[in-house]
């Protein structure tokens, strides 16, 4: 491999039953192969390192589609735990380190996602203007405010119209939330979990991923058709899938920030080495003495949130046994954890 090439990471699979379909080829003609560790394999390709977050939207979209195409190709033969889009590791040694650090997490997710698929459902109003007009014509508060506007002097008209617009938006948002709750509740009859994502436009009601058993895909599709009929064609339903568990099992490699770890260590009063048991004991001790319910101090809630952050930060960093918090043992290392797909629009399907 050229010294300028790194390993681009797609995802992790279970290789207990073999890996005959590797290597495979991307749509661009690049070879994707496995780096194996125990009963796991990491799908990688050799590539020049790129920072996708500094690319323009078109470049990000093109590379994201290429990334997902490989993952979905693997999915046809094997359960795969996707890695965050744009993940590079330096070489096989780092890939093996990632698999070692994340072995328990990957094993858990591979078992959890086995036989499951993701279906992404979007629902929108077909005619948003008609919905807004109906709200204006039927909502008593809005009708009353319009009548008051008619009696206002012309100089007050602009502000009054703004107030009516704000009322309409509030009612529209409540209507949207109500429909979203109804749809999710109905689809949850067949799903094991769901994850809402950002709404991309005003007419959108729902943008949600559902995790379902693979054998229930047909029943889920039938249920969507029933919902379409229930709302009399006023809503437009779209479903994308089956997909790998992007919204439920995507993982990331996060470089360790010594300053962050050191701050968390100090907040919990730990020395430069500690075990997971000691971290948990320190947290429990602080909770007993510093919980907001135990103090009238106005800063107690803020302090409590800091302690919770420190605890979770150190748990993410630590594995079994004793760990060192010294800079020479932290700098240049990384952790493997679940990636919060819902928290970023860039990586949403």
Tell how strand 193-196 and strand 204-213 pair up: antiparallel
Which pLDDT does position 109 carry in this prediction? 94
Which pLDDT does position 4 carry in this prediction? 78
Which pLDDT does position 106 carry in this prediction? 92
The rounded distance, in Å, linking the Cα atoms of 341 and 338 is 9
Query: Which candidate, 194, 337, 191, 140, places its Cα nearest to that of 255?
Result: 337
Instruction: Judge whether 251 and 109 are in contact, CB under 8 Å.
Output: yes
Which pLDDT does position 320 carry in this prediction? 58
Helix (H), strand (E), coil (C) string for 189-240: CCCCEEEECCCCCCCEEEEEEEEEEHHHHHHHHHHHHHHHHHCCCCEEEEEE
* Segments in the chain below pLDDT 70: 1-3, 17-19, 145-161, 164, 289-299, 319-321, 342-349
For 91: left if phi > 0, alpha if psi spans -120 to 50, otherwise beta; the answer is beta
Which pLDDT does position 45 carry in this prediction? 94
| Tokens encoding 68 | 């997902």
Token pair 């938006």 in the structure block, residue: 169
The phi and psi torsions of 115 (rounded to 5 degrees) equal 75, 10
């Amino acid at each position: 491999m050229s010294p300028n090439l790194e390993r681009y990471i797609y995802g992790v699979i279970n290789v207990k039953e073999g890996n005959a379909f590797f290597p495979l080829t991307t749509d661009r003609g690049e070879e994707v192969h496995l780096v194996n560790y125990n009963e796991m394999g990491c799908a990688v390709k050799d590539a020049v390192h790129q920072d996708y977050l500094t690319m323009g939207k078109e470049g990000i979209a093109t590379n994201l589609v290429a990334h997902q195409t490989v993952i979905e190709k693997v999915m046809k033969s094997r359960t795969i735990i996707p890695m965050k889009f744009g993940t590079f590791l330096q070489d096989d040694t780092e890939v093996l380190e990632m698999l070692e650090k994340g072995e328990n997490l990957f094993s858990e997710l591979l078992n959890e996602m086995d036989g499951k698929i993701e279906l992404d459902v979007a629902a929108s109003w077909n005619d948003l203007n008609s919905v807004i007009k109906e709200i204006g014509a039927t909502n008593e508060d809005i009708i009353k405010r319009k009548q008051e506007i008619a009696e206002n002097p012309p100089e007050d008209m602009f502000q009054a119209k703004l107030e009516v617009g704000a009322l309409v938006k509030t009612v529209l948002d409540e209507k949207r939330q109500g429909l979203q709750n109804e749809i999710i509740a109905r689809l949850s009859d067949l799903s094991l979990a769901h994850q809402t994502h950002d709404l991309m436009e005003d007419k959108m009601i729902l943008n949600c991923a559902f995790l379902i058993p693979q054998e229930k895909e047909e029943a889920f599709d039938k249920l969507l058709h029933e919902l379409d009929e229930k709302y009399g064609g006023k809503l437009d339903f779209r479903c994308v899938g089956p997909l790998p568990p992007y919204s439920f099992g995507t993982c990331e490699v996060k470089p360790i920030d010594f300053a962050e770890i050191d701050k968390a260590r100090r907040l919990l009063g730990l020395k430069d080495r500690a075990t997971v048991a000691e971290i948990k004991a320190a947290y429990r001790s602080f909770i007993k003495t510093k919980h907001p319910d135990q103090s009238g101090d106005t800063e107690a809630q803020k302090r409590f949130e800091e302690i919770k952050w420190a605890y979770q930060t150190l748990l993410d960093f630590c594995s079994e046994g004793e760990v060192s918090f010294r800079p020479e043992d932290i700098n240049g290392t990384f952790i493997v954890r679940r990636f919060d797909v819902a928290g970023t629009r860039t990586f949403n399907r």
